[in-house]
Amino acid sequence: MSTAIIVQARMGSTRLPGKVLAPLAGQPALWHTLERLKRVREAQVLAVATGDGTADDPIADAARQWGVFVFRGSETDVLARYVGCAQKVDAAVIVRITADCPLIDPDVVGAAIGEFRNRSLDYLSVEGGPRGLDTEVFTREALERAHRQGRYPAAREHVTFHLYHSGLFRTGSWQLPGPYRRSRYRLCVDEPLDYQLLAEIYERFYRPGRIIAVPEVLAWLDEHPQWALLNQSVRQKAVSDEELLPQGEDDRWEAQHLR
């Protein structure tokens, strides 16, 4: 059963444009994300799924330069982009990672894949840790079903929303072990304060040739609350009521199942 890690990336973030290529310790944030994911032995393919517009050319060019497969699809329909990428690399199992997680942990990703393989699920999420270790594992069959059924904005933009929200799939979660269990911290990059914290972490911990150990970072945040609190005011983007509305006049199925 082939497994592909697909990293979604775009340049057009509304809150922090170009964040995925912002420098951290002399390298773009996306470079660090991909270097960390290259260490996941449980996956056979690593791919970047980005938009097909000219704005995302720098992402595609950079990823290819770093030896990573690139798929380009719809800028706005991210679910369709994931389906296209999964089909192109012929993956049976997909791991979804977002490019704004430059401290994504390869051990966590590998363990999540192993957990998914040991359980009879369509979809698995990792829970109990800080934002930035977000990992989702699901089958291509389930993804394609979501693509056919989920004809409302939240499903198209958030990729896995229909899998865990519709109640039509076998879903489960895996709780992170103790050294990672700090749900109050943010290690992703959504806004300038997030980037400021990640830049400080990379300045302190990164050394060429090795990746930063997340438990060390979390222990440091425990001891330095002034840094831990730096980006606590940042709020994760929530799904709006409008995004749950069907897009077509005949989409009665979604109206019945998502309300």
Work out whether the CA dihedral 147, 174, 238, 3 comes out positive or negative.
Answer: negative
Which two tokens mark 43?
Answer: 């996956």
Q: Please check the confidence at residue 102 and state whether its pLDDT lies above 90.
A: yes
H/E run at residue 214 = helix 214-223
Work out whether the CA dihedral 60, 64, 70, 72 comes out positive or negative.
Answer: positive
Question: Is residue 11 in a domain?
Answer: yes
- Mean pLDDT for the stretch of residues 104-109: 98
Mean pLDDT of the chain: 92
Which domain does 131 fall in, by range?
A: 3-248
pLDDT, one tens digit per residue, over 207-239 is 999 999 999 999 999 999 999 999 999 976 666
Which two tokens mark 62?
Answer: 């950079």
Residue written as token pair 């749950």: 244
Closest CA to 161 of 65, 233, 243, 75: 243
Q: Please check the confidence at residue 251 and state whether its pLDDT lies above 60.
A: no
Q: Please check the confidence at residue 242 and state whether its pLDDT lies above 80.
A: no
Contacts of 135 (CB under 8 A, 6+ apart): 95, 96, 97, 104, 108, 109, 112, 125, 126
Q: Between the CA of residue 37 and those of 32, 77, 257, what are the distances in Å?
A: 9, 24, 36
Question: Is residue 173 in a domain?
Answer: yes
Q: How far apart are CA 85 and CA 99, in angstroms?
A: 15
Question: Is residue 109 in a domain?
Answer: yes
Listing DSSP states for 42-64 in one string gives T-SEEEEEEESSGGGHHHHHHHH
- 245 compared with 187, residue with greater pLDDT: 187
Q: Identify the CATH number of the domain in which residue 123 sits.
A: 3.90.550.10
Contacts of 140 (CB under 8 A, 6+ apart): 86, 87, 91, 92, 93, 94
Question: Is residue 257 in a domain?
Answer: no
Question: Is residue 259 in a domain?
Answer: no
Q: What 8-state DSSP symbol labels residue 239?
A: P
pLDDT band at 127 (very low <50, low <70, confident <90, very high): very high
Number of domains in the chain: 1
pLDDT, one tens digit per residue, over 180-200 is 999 999 999 999 999 999 999
Q: How far apart are CA 122 and CA 144, in angstroms?
A: 11
- 192 compared with 249, residue with greater pLDDT: 192
Please compute Rg for the chain using Cα positions: 18
% of the chain residues with pLDDT over 90: 86
Question: Is residue 87 in a domain?
Answer: yes
Question: Is residue 254 in a domain?
Answer: no
pLDDT, one tens digit per residue, over 17-28 is 899 999 999 999
Buried b (16+ CB within 10 A) or exposed e, 107-120: ebbbbbbebbeeee
Identify the pLDDT of residue 1: 67
pLDDT, one tens digit per residue, over 42-75 is 999 999 999 999 999 999 999 999 999 999 999 9
Question: Is residue 258 in a domain?
Answer: no
Identify the pLDDT of residue 19: 93
Identify the pLDDT of residue 249: 41
- Mean pLDDT for the stretch of residues 107-129: 97
H/E run at residue 94 = strand 93-98
Strand-pairing partners, residue 131, are 186
Identify the pLDDT of residue 64: 98
Q: Please check the confidence at residue 256 and state whether its pLDDT lies above 50.
A: no
Closest CA to 140 of 160, 165, 166: 160
CB 37 within 8 A of CB 78: no
